[in-house]
Structures are given as structure tokens and as C-alpha cells.
Amino acid sequence: MFEKIEKFDKIRVWKGEKTGWHRYTYGIAGEMFFRKLMEKKFVAGKCPECERLFIPPRIYCEDCFVEIKEFVEIKELPRVYSFTFLFKDLEDNLLKEPEIVVFLKWDNIEGGLIHRLKEVNIEDVNFGLVVEPVFKEKPEGNINDILYWRPKK
């Protein structure tokens, strides 16, 4: 049975210093993705059988049951596939301005990324909006190397 959570403070969370307990590796495909992200590039894994592309990349195609060893750089920009507005933080405090969380998909690529959208008026957020990443100055090889996305200029 699942209980409906009505207050975020009812969810148990660990706060404070990192304990090291939650470290995990990205795996081969994930590591490739984050290495390229440090160069401000996006790579997709390409299935040798069906030739479908995957972002984030994966090391096997679940339809063809074959290993994916080819990774290709994706130069096109993704589009907003889905979005939501957050008005409160995890402690139930009202945010000064709502945070926009988007699910981004690239045309003809499986998968996608969940991230933040900024530099946009709320009324301009829509499905299909083409967005570009704003990168951190000194990338560290994780998803926050992208500070946020904004509408393509």
C-alpha cells in the first residue's frame, strides 16, 4: 500500500554532510556521457542493429539485445517535452519565484533529460520549445555541469 504524501516534511531525508554511502559509478555509457558533457558536448549511444540513438547513452539495446559500443555526438538541441512548475522547496517553503522543471527530448532520439529551465517567462514555456544549455564555467563531470536550459537564442 502506498500512502499519499501531503507534506514534504513527512518524507525522511538525509541532510548534512555527504557520508559516502551513496556513491555509485555512472557505468561505461554514463561515464562517456559525462566526459563529453565536460567538453560541453552531448553524446548518444547508437544501437548497431536498429540504429536508434539513446540519451542518456546505454550499453545495450533492450529491443535488439545487442551491446552498444558506438557513441555519437549530438549537435541538435532538444525540445521541451513536458514541464512543471515548483512553487515550494523540499521544506515546504514558498520559493521567491517558481522553478521550472522540464523533461527534454531530442528529435529521433530515445530517452531524454530532466533539468531546470530559466531565462524564460512562464507564459512562454510550452511543449516543443527548443532550448539550449547554459554550462558551468568549470565542469566537474556531472549533470549540474549544465546550470540550466533556456530558450534557444
* Contacting residues toward Zn ion, per CB under 5 A: 47, 49-50, 61, 63-64
Q: Please give the Cα distance from 81 to 148 (Å, whole number).
A: 16
Between 48 and 98, whose beta carbon lies closer to Zn ion? Answer: 48
Least distance from C-beta 150 to Zn ion, angstroms? 33
Least distance from C-beta 66 to Zn ion, angstroms? 6
SS3 content of the chain, % helix, strand, coil (to 5): 15, 40, 50
Q: Please give the Cα distance from 47 to 69 (Å, whole number).
A: 8
Q: Residue 120 carries which side chain, given as an amino acid letter?
A: V
Between 28 and 130, whose beta carbon lies closer to Zn ion? Answer: 28
Least distance from C-beta 29 to Zn ion, angstroms? 14
HSE-up of residue 112 (Cα within 13 Å, Cβ side): 16
Between 36 and 58, whose beta carbon lies closer to Zn ion? Answer: 58
Give me the helices (H) in the chain, please.
Answer: 27-38
Between 112 and 133, whose beta carbon lies closer to Zn ion? Answer: 112
Least distance from C-beta 63 to Zn ion, angstroms? 5
